Every structure is written in structure tokens, then in C-alpha cells.
């Protein structure tokens, strides 16, 4: 485990913070209160913890706020607004829902790099050649931009290299409102479990709703590098 990650595990959920200033991004604010240096490596460590928890649920109970349960996006028997939700088939290759540039979706296993185990070790996957590695690193980079990490794109935190149009990425998934809502909820719960304030979690949720929650909107590339 990297030094930055070990420090994060020890400190992130225990910080007691005042209200975030409007001119400081969510990413920068929480990184500055956890690490002695607000740099690309430390910003990425914060994003990795939030993304991995959103994907697989709580996995570091000693550091996380244990009163905030995060089932995780991959939970097979989840519910949202009293409706059963199961997003796992979109990730394990059960559905032909991935856009690989063709006229229809194809089946892709995005859990081919060790599944949940490497995520519990604050890594994207075992090795760097799997679909899982590509997906998780793209998520880190995407959320680094969305949450306004000012060191994003520098050494230690690469620039997002995936498709910027979320419409194109998800066009064959045919997600309904409950599935999208559950996905967004897990990101918010994950952030809260790591000490992000309710107000900031609401901002994150509102932003994701604008990107993913409007099925009939025109295709758009949404990657707000200056989001606060």
C-alpha cells in the first residue's frame, strides 16, 4: 500500500471540517485537510478511495464512518426507492451492453482484473492490461475532473483518456431511472462515508444527475474541469 493511501485510510473519515469555501474545489478541499501536501498523487488517493467504495461498498471500516453503509454499485440484491436494482450484469459480461463502436452493444467483462479484491487494496485491478483496469482508471480520471482536482493531469494523476460523451459510453445500456438513481446514490454515500459533507455530496449528486439522469437529452460531452 502506498504511503499516501495508508495516510488516507488513517485520516480521511476522521476529519472534522468547516464549510468548504466556494472558491476551493471539493477535491482540493478534502485533500488539503488530509495530507500535508495537496499534489496530484494525494488528490488521486482521495478519488480512488471514493470510487472504489462506490463500486464495491464499504471495505475499510476502521477508517470509514461505519454508520454510513455503502452497498456498492456491484451489489446484486440492491434496492432504490423500494425498487430492486442489479447493475452487476452490466459489469460482469452478462449483458451485451458495452459500446465498442459498432451498431449494437457487445458483452465485456469489466471484472477480469481480480474483481473486488484489488479494489479493497486501493488499486484498480491486478495488473494493467484488463478491462477492469481500463474502466477503474478511467473512473478515477473522470471523477478527478468532475470534482475539480487542480493537480489533475499532472504526474501522478493522468488526464482522462476515455470517451467524453457519456451518451456514447452508455447508449446500449438502456438504464432506467431507478438504476441511474442507485448509481448516483452509491457515489454520494461513498463520499459521505469518507467524511465529505452533506452539502458537497448533494453537489456531486446534482452534477451526476445532470450528466446521467436525462435519457432524452441530446448527446453531449460533459467533463467539467472547473467544477466546484
> Left if phi > 0, otherwise alpha if psi is -120 to 50, otherwise beta: which for 24?
beta
* Mean pLDDT for the stretch of residues 190-215: 84
Three-state DSSP at 154 gives coil
Cell numbers of 56, please? 464495491
- Pure H helices in the chain: 3-11, 26-32, 40-56, 116-120, 131-146, 166-170, 177-193, 198-212
Measuring CA to CA, which residue among 38, 33, 1 is closest to residue 16?
A: 33
Domain ranges within the chain, ordered by starting residue: 3-212
pLDDT of residue 226 exceeding 50, the answer is no
pLDDT for 62-107, tens place per residue?
Answer: 555 567 899 999 999 899 999 999 999 999 999 999 988 888 999 9
Lowest mean pLDDT among 16-20, 37-41, 47-51, 216-220: 216-220
Residue 187: Cβ-neighbour burial (10 angstroms; 0-12, 13-18, 19+): buried
pLDDT for 13-38, tens place per residue?
Answer: 455 566 889 999 999 999 998 888 99
d(CA 202, CA 222): 18
Query: What single-letter DSSP state applies at residue 197?
Result: -
Amino acid at each position: 500500500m502506498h504511503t499516501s493511501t495508508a495516510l488516507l485510510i488513517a485520516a480521511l473519515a476522521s476529519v472534522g471540517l468547516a464549510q468548504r469555501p466556494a472558491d476551493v474545489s471539493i477535491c482540493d478541499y478534502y485533500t488539503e485537510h488530509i495530507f500535508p501536501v495537496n499534489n496530484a498523487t494525494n488528490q488521486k488517493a482521495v478519488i480512488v478511495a471514493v470510487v472504489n467504495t462506490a463500486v464495491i461498498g464499504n471495505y475499510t471500516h476502521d477508517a470509514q464512518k461505519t454508520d454510513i453503509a455503502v452497498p456498492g454499485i456491484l451489489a446484486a440484491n440492491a434496492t432504490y426507492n423500494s425498487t430492486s436494482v442489479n447493475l452487476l450484469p452490466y459489469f460482469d459480461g452478462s449483458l451485451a451492453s458495452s459500446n465498442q463502436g459498432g451498431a449494437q452493444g457487445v458483452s465485456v467483462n469489466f471484472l477480469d482484473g481480480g474483481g473486488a479484491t484489488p479494489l479493497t487494496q486501493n488499486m484498480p485491478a491486478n495488473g494493467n492490461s484488463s478491462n477492469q483496469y481500463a474502466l477503474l482508471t478511467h473512473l478515477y480520471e473522470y471523477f478527478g475532473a468532475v470534482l475539480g482536482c487542480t493537480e489533475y493531469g499532472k504526474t501522478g494523476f493522468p488526464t482522462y483518456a476515455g470517451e467524453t460523451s457519456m451518451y456514447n459510453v452508455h447508449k446500449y445500456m438502456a438504464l432506467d431511472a431507478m438504476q441511474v438513481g442507485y448509481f448516483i446514490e452509491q457515489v454520494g454515500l461513498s463520499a459521505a462515508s469518507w467524511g465529505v459533507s452533506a452539502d458537497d455530496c448533494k453537489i456531486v449528486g446534482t452534477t451526476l444527475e445532470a450528466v446521467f439522469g436525462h435519457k432524452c437529452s441530446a448527446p453531449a460531452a460533459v467533463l467539467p474541469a472547473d467544477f466546484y
